[in-house]
């Protein structure tokens, strides 16, 4: 059984300092949409409060994303074009929408905090 230490300190409305035994991070956002920054790692999360349903994704791994896209392009050259499913298209659309949401949310939050 491991010892776990975690403390959240609300700095401003929508801005939280998170402290744990492994380090510190800053969270920007409210219930349902949050951007967490820890060192050079950025994670975004979207959820439906009260349901337990949420989606979380690292947003700073652009090089890994580009690498994954190149692998997909190579695989597409070796497979028939009709093998790409509509489900994959929908998943990509939702991921892009989530990324755009977080970028917009970060800009609005930064403008709000700059007042």
3-state secondary structure the chain: CCCCCEEEEEEECCEEEEEECCEEEEEEEECCEEEEEECCEEEEEEEECCCCEEEEEECCCHHHHHHHHHHHHHHHHHCCHHHCCHHHHHHHHHHHHHHHHHHHHHHHHHHHHCC
Question: Across all residues in the chain, what is the average pLDDT?
Answer: 78
Sorted by where each begins, the domain ranges of the chain are 6-113
Is the model's pLDDT at 83 over the cut of 50?
no
Residue 65: the pLDDT is 64
């Amino acid at each position: 059984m491991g010892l776990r230490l975690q403390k959240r300190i609300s700095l401003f409305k929508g801005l939280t300092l998170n402290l744990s035994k492994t380090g510190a991070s800053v969270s920007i956002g409210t219930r349902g949409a949050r951007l967490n920054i820890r060192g050079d790692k950025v994670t975004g999360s979207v959820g439906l409060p009260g349901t337990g349903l949420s989606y979380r994704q690292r947003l700073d791994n652009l090089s890994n994303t580009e690498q994954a896209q190149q692998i997909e392009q190579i695989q597409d050259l070796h497979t028939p074009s009709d093998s790409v499913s509509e489900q994959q298209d929908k998943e990509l659309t939702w991921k892009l929408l989530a990324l755009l949401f977080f970028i917009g949310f970060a800009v609005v939050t930064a403008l709000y905090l700059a007042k």
